[in-house]
Structure 1
Amino acid sequence: MLAQAKIKLGVLTSGGDAQGMNAAVRAVVRTGISRGCEVYAIYEGYEGMIRGGDFIRRMKWDSVGGILHLGGTVIGTARSADFRTRDGRRQAVANLLAHGIHRLVVIGGDGSLTGAAEFRSEWPELVQELREAGKIDVDTAERCAFLAIVGLVGSIDNDFSGTDMTIGADSALHRITEALDAITSTAASHQRTFVVEVMGRNCGYLALMGAISGGADWIFIPEAPPEADDWQRAMCEALRVGRQNGRRDSLVVIAEGAHDRHGVPITAHQVKQVLEENLGEDTRVTILGHIQRGGVPSAFDRWMSSLIGYTAVQHLLASQPQDEPQIIGIRENRITTAPLMQCVQETRAVAEAIKAHDYERALAMRGGSFGESLRTLYTLMQSNPSTPRGSGSTRPLRFAILHAGGPSPGMNTAVRVAVRLSVDQGHQVYGVRNGFQGLIDGDLHEMDWMSVTGWATAGGAELGVNRKIPQGAELYQIARNIESFGIDGLLMIGNLAGYQACHRLFSERTNFPAFRIPIMCLPATIDNNLPGSELSIGADSALNSIVDSVDRIKQSAVAARRCFVVEVMGRDCGYLALMGGLASGAERVYLPEEGVTLRDLQADVDEMTYWFKRGKRLSLVVRNENVDAVYTTGFMVALFEQEGGPVFEVRQAILGHIQQGGSPSPFDRIQATRLAVRCVEFLIDRATRKNPDAAFIGIRGGRLQIRDLEDLPRLMHPDFARPRDQWWMELRDISRILRQQPADEG
């Protein structure tokens, strides 16, 4: 019996490059190989498809080794005028069929994806033309009668419908945030104003999220031009008042496509001139330009692109001739599909609405979270609260804010948002120093608008942290202090210890009437081990720290045949280990949810030895700190070193508290802002109720959810400090496929 011919598929990158494209290419190649396919990379995009020859190359497993951390696209991208012609597209079909390729993964923006959809629709006609011209035989024409296409969106602007995030957008936001943080420090030193232009011709995502992350004082984006024609006066007055209140610097963020309500462009240099003429301040312009496209991809862009690349191959292999081309995207950590051309049309509709000066429609089409983020930013940018204390529609309330557990990047961001939103509505906020111990000791101090200046970007926890869970007489002292300070609501930003402490207060309401106030828990822990939220504040920052450290480790390791065992935090939760391994390309990941046996370790060292003998230079193992009490990192290193003998060396790297340090990532700043807004709304709404709720908040399935605190025990694992529901555990098989090389690829 004749063996069935292998399925052959191609992958190309087109249009502007974006960080994370290489991760997607790697995932497509390795998933295809693991499924028994032949995978071809089409170099230089559509132009390479037309040129053929060496521009279409068969890929092996190792062909995409060592590219996960690289920016840009290793298979190249180019604009192709010839692909716009029918003759050019016919030649592209001929070159693909020469390799038997009639399944494609196209990674690019709306122009590239539109071209892919049109190419697919013409494919049967072009195949027929080639057959009639005698350039392909009948068997080839019948076997490749249809073209299956899947699109992955590569665009740093994050301007494409059908996905929450496009490949490269998170990395670009990292570049912007790093630049804004650096600019702020020098601006404050000289009391200067900086105008920073970011990319975004028809989309203000990078400007908006960069302004939130960087604590900007004014913003210009295409979807929401200034309301008034004399926007210059409004901007200058706001920045003037900010300086009078003690702000040492001013930061204006402007999207490259910004304009007024009549469509007249607003440029960075124009804003600079307005500020210098009206405020007499030393003003500088920084245009970030292509620095936003460059550099290494973020952890998110690595693992997200890997997931959608894997899914793209699965989708292609199941495609039928009648199937409509799809976009593979992501919505709140879940892979989604959507019709390609529908997404293209919706994307272009936003640009058309902006061009028609229909800004309300353009803003609505960006989605509810975009508009909500913009409204929040407008409040945070104010130089003063809009409502003086005591003049609001409701009685002034007093809220207390504290941290619990270990420090987590993004805690300060959440406090800043909660304080300013509360004070903006005429309420008082007390910061509690040193967690619940500070609430026991009565260590509370009032916070005002300017007291949180600069907190948006700061790592650590300015209020201090403590793992104290109050017991016995300490509960009585807390009740006394709540009554003494007249506290109407409590916001805890922290980890499981904080959740448990709040649950203790809730369960003691019968004995202590002072605890009958609204209590809200905001998840902030790098371990990501809290129920009710798919991601906790700080987990993304920790993951980026891990990936950055592993990148450095890999650079040192490839100089010799070496295995590195990297230990990461997480306690009883394997999130950091699994996602860190997926984002860094680890060959083996040890999780506390799975455990590890001596047999596992022996199998792993045998596999490492096999590949090192065949030329492998680096093996990366990621281990959670609590995976096993006996098989510690030191034990593993000793075992691997003994069994590896002269074949390879072994080193260990215990990352430790470096994972908790540093400035919060843009994602954590944005997530902290979004959650803090809801927490303040909750406290204000519940404060006047007779039996107010105690709850915890999170984002699940793309939606903000609030759960009753009394549900905490049943949502947690009875024996381990982790939730029963862990969405990332569904990614274990994908991680294994991308890291385990088939034996016949040696």
Structure 2
Amino acid sequence: MSESETGHDNPSAEDFARGQGVRVGVLTSGGDAQGMNAAVRAVVRTALVMGATPLSILEGWQGAVDNSIHEMGWSDVSSILNQGGTVIGTARSADFREYEGRLVAAENLIRHGIDKLVVIGGDGSLTGTNQFRNEWSQLLTDLVEAGRISHEEAAAHPYLAVVGLVGSIDNDLVGSDMTIGADSALHRIVEAIDALTSTAASHQRTFVVEVMGRHCGYLALMSAVAGGCDYVLIPERPPGEGWEEEMCNVLTQGREAGRRESIVLVAEGAQTRSGDRITAADVAGILKDRMDVDARVTILGHVQRGGTPSAYDRWMPTLLGYAAVQTVLEQGSDDGAVILGVRHNRIARLDLVTAVSDTRNVATLIEQGSYDEAVAARGRSFTEMLKINSLLSAPPSQAPRATGKRIAILHAGGLAPGMNTAARAAVRLGLARGYTMLGVRGGFPGLIDGAVDELSWDDVEGWAFAGGAELGTRRTEPSLEQFYAIGRSIETQQIDGLMIIGGVDAYMSGYELVSQRDRYPAFRIPIVLVPASIDNNLPGSELSIGADTAVNNAVWALDRIKESAAASRRCFVAEAMGRKCGYLAFMSGLAAGAELVYLNEDGVDLDTIASDAAIMRASFEAGRRLFLVVRNEEVSELLTMDFMARAFEEEGGGLFDVRQSAIGHLQQGGSPTPFDRLLATRLVSHALDEICREIGDETSAALYVGMAANSLSSRPIERMLDDFDVADRRPKYQWWLGLKPAAQVVSLPGAGLLGPIPIMDA
């Protein structure tokens, strides 16, 4: 894979003038997926800013056949970010499957001057689109010969440029980490599992839940890990002979270990190795026959596709739509059709034919019994989660622990949703490795006071979806005078390895402990720092546990704020947490559709506020009814939220009123999102691997782990300050700052254009 984030493959800002006079069509086809509206909105607004004319093709390819094609303006895609489905409609077109239907579609596109398309759909829609593109020359020839278009019209549109975006809740596109709608579907499923868990535990019941995933087990597997389910059945890894007995044993062991409920998750495409389908009803029948358990069946169905999209399915499709216009305007007659997917939180350019072929090949691999190859095709995280899930779901054997080593888990710093998930995963994965797992209650003060308990498998039952931190956390960093007491406690508690989960205070505490190793031999144990901070401001990891939940909480609050202004002409100034790191403000503003976002990284002055106030007034004079401003809480010490609100209201002169709201600790609360549960599980598993590798050595390494470019990484704590700006409490490099051009373009008419966002060649 080559990466062209700063190379010549990306156009400069001056290249965007090529959109002048171009007409760009956008359509959604096949099954709907949450986040399609965000992509459509971005395509329309980016095209307008680049000087092109966007046109929507309603009801998918059927709209092209029926000539349901309309020009789009800026306000046509207002207030759709938080809507599920697709406002321009979708359908599976039987007419388009026939050559005559495609001939009519080509004629209608020519009539509207469209020869550049952004198509949002599944692999079937994109396959049909590529066939249409390959036939374009022949279609034009036939239309000219039939007198349906002129030679001049055909010559003006000699080729069809196509960029595909995959909208699929199954997350089944090979080569892309995520597809539009998958994260929102995970939200729906995990919310249902959490709800079922509480009612099942009340009555000590067993539930069998069926989720979507005809050829892809992503939703089932990730929901099982995030929801703490007992057993999961997926297409890529059909169960072997005797699986029924194995499933019953796992459920029995869970109950004996203290579980009050049992949940089995079944992907709709699950089958045996002989090819016989396994349904939720089949599983319930097996449990009845073999365990005399009256299991309740819940089939989630299309609820997984519906509802408000998650924050991720707002900001990532926005970036995809922006990049799609950037890409389709570049395409020449010799370029192949491409799909834009997601790799390592960046936009990735994939060859359409190859990506679709590789995706469809997974089903072939399953039919051939090549299960390892099918799993590998799903990617590294899928493979990791298969292994991790089996360790998390089944209690370890009661055999004596083999290692005799004791690993302690400690939280430090501010609360981050997902800390409980991380602690649970650490305990269960550690026990599975044969270690004694210890929980330190109350951070470093608790360690000094000896508040250390041995944790069993059932002690952490239910922690996966609980907010807060059962072990407690403190923001205090140990002082030099406390190091001796910490060392004595490590020796007294016979701690052989220490996992510190937390934010900046945790990281700086870990750094100080390591720096004191020469004075305190007790600190010469494996020490691993795991990033958990809603601010997402920790070195060595592009994403921290809790940040995704905080963004979703902030977006929920901003949605409510926008709704409260529906009957008035109002500007809202909202303040997000994050101290001097603007990640929360930027991502929540992008996902909520804020017109302006102020970041500490950019700074703000009186001239900027005056200029923005003038833009705000002009937009209200042009008919705007709502204007949303999001600011990073420490963007400026003097230019406070109250000052900004007063300045905007003064400029408004009664044309609109101004309200202000600090979102506050709402961002830290609630149940962690599926993403944060999965991230916590992967990071902790990696951290345990590092501790296991070092435990027992006289000069054990001290590391901070993270997720960078979708890969798990480890770096020496001694070198941490190379990556970290201590004064501003944020990493020296922040990947998300490269996304600012897209946010500026789609938010406010006339806001200007900074340039392209990075696109990787995969």
1:141 aligns with 2:154: yes
Q: Which residue of 1 is the match for residue 55 of structure 2?
A: 40
Kept in 2: contact 1:162–1:337 (CA 8 A): no
Equivalences, count? 735
1:721 aligns with 2:736: no
Q: Which residue of 2 is the match for residue 64 of structure 1?
A: 77
Indicate which of 567, 590, 595 corresponds to 1:559.
567
Q: Which residue of 2 is the match for residue 28 of structure 1?
A: 43
Kept in 2: contact 1:263–1:357 (CA 8 A): no
Kept in 2: contact 1:529–1:723 (CA 8 A): yes
Instruction: Report the alpha carbon displacement of residue 132 of structure 1 after superposing the two structures with TM.
Output: 2.0
Pairs within 5 Å for 1:90-109:
90-109=103-122
Indicate which of 389, 396, 409 corresponds to 1:385.
396
Amino acid paired to 1:123: W
Instruction: Report the alpha carbon displacement of residue 740 of structure 1 after superposing the two structures with TM.
Output: 2.1
1:438 aligns with 2:446: yes
Pairs within 5 Å for 1:346-361:
346-361=358-373
Q: Which residue of 2 is the match for residue 211 of structure 1?
A: 224
Q: Which residue of 1 is the match for residue 478 of structure 2?
A: 470
1:591 aligns with 2:591: no
Call closer, same or farther: CA 1:581–1:50 in 2, change over 3 Å: same
How many angstroms apart in 1 are the aligned matches of 2:154 and 2:278?
A: 54
Q: Which residue of 2 is the match for residue 200 of structure 1?
A: 213
How many angstroms apart in 2 are the aligned matches of 1:660 and 1:692?
A: 34
Q: Deviations 1:86-125 (Å, cap 9, x if unpaired)?
A: 1111111110011110000000000000011111000011
Instruction: Report the alpha carbon displacement of residue 718 of structure 1 after superposing the two structures with TM.
Output: 4.6
Q: Deviations 1:616-670 (Å, cap 9, x if unpaired)?
A: 1100000111011111111111221222122101111211000000000000000
Indicate which of 397, 407, 413 corresponds to 1:405.
413
Indicate which of 590, 594, 600 corresponds to 1:582.
590
Amino acid paired to 1:351: A
Q: Which residue of 1 is the match for residue 374 of structure 2?
A: 362
Instruction: Report the alpha carbon displacement of residue 278 of structure 1 after superposing the two structures with TM.
Output: 2.3
Q: Which residue of 2 is the match for residue 111 of structure 1?
A: 124
Structure number with higher relative contact order (C-alpha < 8 Å, ≥ 6 residues apart): 2
1:503 aligns with 2:511: yes
How many angstroms apart in 2 are the aligned matches of 1:628 and 1:488?
A: 44
How many angstroms apart in 2 are the aligned matches of 1:487 and 1:40?
A: 64
Q: Which residue of 2 is the match for residue 84 of structure 1?
A: 97
Q: Deviations 1:68-97 (Å, cap 9, x if unpaired)?
A: 111000000011111011111111111001
How many angstroms apart in 2 are the aligned matches of 1:452 and 1:388?
A: 20
Indicate which of 335, 344, 362 corresponds to 1:332.
344
Instruction: Report the alpha carbon displacement of residue 240 of structure 1 after superposing the two structures with TM.
Output: 1.7
Kept in 2: contact 1:389–1:427 (CA 8 A): no
TM-score normalized with structure 2 length: 0.95
How many angstroms apart in 2 are the aligned matches of 1:618 and 1:37?
A: 26
Instruction: Report the alpha carbon displacement of residue 444 of structure 1 after superposing the two structures with TM.
Output: 0.6
How many angstroms apart in 1 are the aligned matches of 2:376 and 2:538?
A: 32
Amino acid paired to 1:514: A
How many angstroms apart in 1 are the aligned matches of 2:261 and 2:37?
A: 39
1:237 aligns with 2:249: yes
Amino acid paired to 2:172: D
Kept in 2: contact 1:13–1:21 (CA 8 A): yes
Kept in 2: contact 1:388–1:424 (CA 8 A): no
Kept in 2: contact 1:389–1:423 (CA 8 A): no
Indicate which of 698, 701, 704 corresponds to 1:690.
698
Kept in 2: contact 1:574–1:592 (CA 8 A): yes
Instruction: Report the alpha carbon displacement of residue 738 of structure 1 after superposing the two structures with TM.
Output: 0.8
Query: What is the alpha-carbon root mean square deviation over aligned residues?
Result: 1.3
Instruction: Report the alpha carbon displacement of residue 743 of structure 1 after superposing the two structures with TM.
Output: 8.7
Instruction: Report the alpha carbon displacement of residue 226 of structure 1 after superposing the two structures with TM.
Output: 1.4
Indicate which of 734, 739, 743 corresponds to 2:747.
739
Indicate which of 469, 480, 486 corresponds to 1:461.
469
Point out where structure 1 has 5 or more consecutive residues left out of the alignment: none
Q: Percent identity?
A: 53
1:16 aligns with 2:31: yes
Q: Which residue of 2 is the match for residue 172 of structure 1?
A: 185
Q: Deviations 1:339-358 (Å, cap 9, x if unpaired)?
A: 00100110011011112232
Kept in 1: contact 2:257–2:457 (CA 8 A): no
Amino acid paired to 2:648: F
Q: Deviations 1:584-610 (Å, cap 9, x if unpaired)?
A: 110000001111111111111111111
How many angstroms apart in 2 are the aligned matches of 1:171 and 1:136?
A: 44
Instruction: Report the alpha carbon displacement of residue 471 of structure 1 after superposing the two structures with TM.
Output: 1.5
Q: Which residue of 1 is the match for residue 308 of structure 2?
A: 296
Instruction: Report the alpha carbon displacement of residue 4 of structure 1 after superposing the two structures with TM.
Output: 10
Residue 384 of structure 2: SS of its match in structure 1? helix
Residue 522 of structure 1: SS of its match in structure 2? strand
How many angstroms apart in 2 are the aligned matches of 1:49 and 1:660?
A: 47
Kept in 1: contact 2:744–2:751 (CA 8 A): no
Amino acid paired to 1:294: G
Kept in 1: contact 2:496–2:526 (CA 8 A): yes
Residue 120 of structure 2: SS of its match in structure 1? strand
1:429 aligns with 2:440: no
How many angstroms apart in 2 are the aligned matches of 1:742 and 1:640?
A: 19
Q: Deviations 1:218-255 (Å, cap 9, x if unpaired)?
A: 1111111112x222222112212221222110011110
Indicate which of 703, 708, 713 corresponds to 1:700.
708
1:522 aligns with 2:530: yes
Q: Which residue of 2 is the match for residue 307 of structure 1?
A: 319
Instruction: Report the alpha carbon displacement of residue 5 of structure 1 after superposing the two structures with TM.
Output: 6.5
How many angstroms apart in 1 are the aligned matches of 2:709 and 2:693?
A: 24
Amino acid paired to 1:695: L
Call closer, same or farther: CA 1:548–1:186 in 2, change over 3 Å: same
Residue 456 of structure 1: SS of its match in structure 2? helix
1:371 aligns with 2:379: no
Kept in 2: contact 1:162–1:327 (CA 8 A): no
1:323 aligns with 2:359: no
Q: Deviations 1:682-724 (Å, cap 9, x if unpaired)?
A: 1011012221111101111121110110112221125311111
Amino acid paired to 1:661: G
Amino acid paired to 2:40: V
1:661 aligns with 2:669: yes
Kept in 1: contact 2:412–2:501 (CA 8 A): yes
Point out where structure 2 has 5 or more consecutive residues left out of the alignment: 1-17, 753-762
Kept in 1: contact 2:161–2:328 (CA 8 A): yes
Instruction: Report the alpha carbon displacement of residue 17 of structure 1 after superposing the two structures with TM.
Output: 0.1
Q: Deviations 1:534-565 (Å, cap 9, x if unpaired)?
A: 00000000000011111111111121111111
Instruction: Report the alpha carbon displacement of residue 193 of structure 1 after superposing the two structures with TM.
Output: 0.3
Kept in 2: contact 1:212–1:377 (CA 8 A): yes
How many angstroms apart in 2 are the aligned matches of 1:473 and 1:610?
A: 59
Kept in 1: contact 2:19–2:47 (CA 8 A): no
Instruction: Report the alpha carbon displacement of residue 165 of structure 1 after superposing the two structures with TM.
Output: 0.3
Q: Which residue of 2 is the match for residue 281 of structure 1?
A: 293
Call closer, same or farther: CA 1:4–1:737 in 2, change over 3 Å: closer
Which sits farther off after the overlay, 535-544 or 685-694? 685-694
How many angstroms apart in 2 are the aligned matches of 1:375 and 1:142?
A: 57
How many angstroms apart in 1 are the aligned matches of 2:63 and 2:106?
A: 12
Q: Deviations 1:329-369 (Å, cap 9, x if unpaired)?
A: 11121111010010011001101111223222211221222
How many angstroms apart in 1 are the aligned matches of 2:294 and 2:487?
A: 52
